[in-house]
Amino acid sequence: MRSVYRLLLVSVFGLPLGTARAQSTMAPAAHVTFFDSGAVAAAFAKGRPLLEVAAYKILTSRREAPGRVEVHTRDTDVIYVLQGHAVFVTGGTAKELHTVTHDELRGSGIEGGETHHLRAGDVIVVPNGIPHWFKSVDGPFLYFTVKVTNRGI
């Protein structure tokens, strides 16, 4: 399981950060953050964030049931599935969409869209502005979500 976490962190952060360092040798060294397996397990048990900074968030997510349609106006979601199965719909037209915060919209369903069957080991990237929905979940469904924030840079 540790190798899965390392793969996720290297895949999501290693390549983009390596590119950023190559482009700007004047930038200060990044702060390294480590979470041992106990901290990760505790975060999954409670479904709480591992790390939240201005540019991104790392969430440990646990679902036992379907959710509401989500549309993030600034965040791109990178989802890595650890356990379980879910039917995940992306795109299409969100039904009964309403604002819950200045960057977040929720709805009751999606008309049209593309259906994905998410299982352990799968990765899906949902750009900001795209409706997405966990239509059904065979729980427990465990996944990391890395939310990359578009701050208009």
Q: What is the DSSP string of 132-144?
A: EEEEEEEEEEEEE
3-state DSSP helix/strand/coil % of the chain, to nearest 5: 20, 50, 30
- Per-residue pLDDT 10s for the chain (153 aa) are 554 444 444 444 444 444 333 333 444 547 899 999 999 999 998 888 999 988 899 999 999 999 999 999 999 999 999 999 999 999 999 999 999 998 999 999 999 999 999 999 999 999 999 999 999 999 799 999 999 998 754
Domain 2-149 bears CATH identifier 2.60.120.370: yes
Looking at residue 139, what is its pLDDT? 78
Q: Check residue 23 and give its pLDDT.
A: 38
